[in-house]
Amino acid sequence: MNNRGINFRTLLFFFVLIPVMFFGLLYSVLLNIIDPTGDSFNKVTAWWGRFSAKLFGISIEVIGQENYSPEKNYLVISNHAGMADIPLLLGTLRLNLRFVAKEELGKIPLFGNVIKHAGFVMIKRGQNREALKSLLAASEVLKSGRSVHIFPEGTRSPDGKLLPFKRGAFLVAQKGGAPVLPVTIIGSHLITPKKSLKINKGKIRIIIAPPLNPSIFNSVEELRDASSMIIENNLRRYSNN
């Protein structure tokens, strides 16, 4: 693994954030029993996201808050360039939000049980039948009135550049009957670089574009391409400003 040296913020992660997460998970077990909808757990994860940003010295500029309503639900899609993306989105977006996460996370003791009971959707990588079932499960979360987030690239970009989008996320939007909310994240690849244990402070920009109505597109591919173009354009527009 290249560039795997640690720094002070890495130590904060292990000796501050990990213990906070552990006790937060114990609390969340009780929350999920009291509130099996996972809505109360969502409030805990939003706090965790804001706490993580403050702990590591990450400033966040949000552009486009007016483009969505916290009272509505969306299929949120964004680029993915750093491990910080998930807590940053949870702490920033004022939505009752669930993530589609890789299946391996659901197998982590305690953590996996908590997020699955809270409505997070576990998915197998690839295009097999099990992956399709997971996507259909995500569409049911949308139908329940909650928002779902998917990284349509399927993996993290090592340099912040946009990778090709897969079509599965947009199938979820069509099946779930929810608008697609394109979100662009700028700078997260510098906070938690891929193949590194270092955590850096810095500034993140989150650009929220107006939602797209899946019904106006002729196909899932058209919806995918339009979403990708919006995020690509915002990456170019705001990366150098």
What is the structure's pLDDT at 126? 63
What is the phi-psi region of residue 38: left when phi exceeds 0, alpha when psi lies from -120 to 50, beta otherwise? left
Reported as a single tens digit per residue, the pLDDT across 68-83 is: 999 999 999 999 988 8
Identify the CA nearest to 147 among candidates 159, 155, 139: 139
Reported as a single tens digit per residue, the pLDDT across 197-236 is: 899 999 999 999 999 999 999 999 999 999 999 999 999 9
CATH of the domain at 85: 3.40.1130.10
Indicate whether 67 belongs to any domain: yes
Indicate whether 198 belongs to any domain: yes
Confidence of residue 127 (pLDDT cuts 50, 70, 90): low
- For residue 129, pLDDT beyond 80: no
Instruction: Note the pTM of the prediction, 2 decimals.
Output: 0.93
Indicate whether 3 belongs to any domain: no
Which residues constitute the domain of residue 87? 8-239
Reported as a single tens digit per residue, the pLDDT across 1-44 is: 444 678 999 999 999 999 999 999 999 999 999 999 999 999 99
Find where tokens 């979100």 sit: 183
Cross-strand partners of 206? 62, 185
Identify the CA nearest to 49 among candidates 37, 61, 58: 58
Indicate whether 119 belongs to any domain: yes
The two three-digit tokens of residue 5, written as one number: 């040296």
Percent pLDDT > 70 in the chain is: 96
Polymer length of the chain = 241
Indicate whether 167 belongs to any domain: yes
Indicate whether 135 belongs to any domain: yes
* Contact criterion met (CB below 8 Å) for 75 and 167: no
Please give the mean pLDDT across all residues of the chain.
92
Element counts in the chain: helices (H) and strands (E): 9, 7
Indicate whether 2 belongs to any domain: no
Into how many domains does the chain fold?
1
Beta strand spans in the chain (E): 58-63, 75-78, 97-102, 121-123, 147-150, 180-186, 202-208
What is the structure's pLDDT at 68? 98
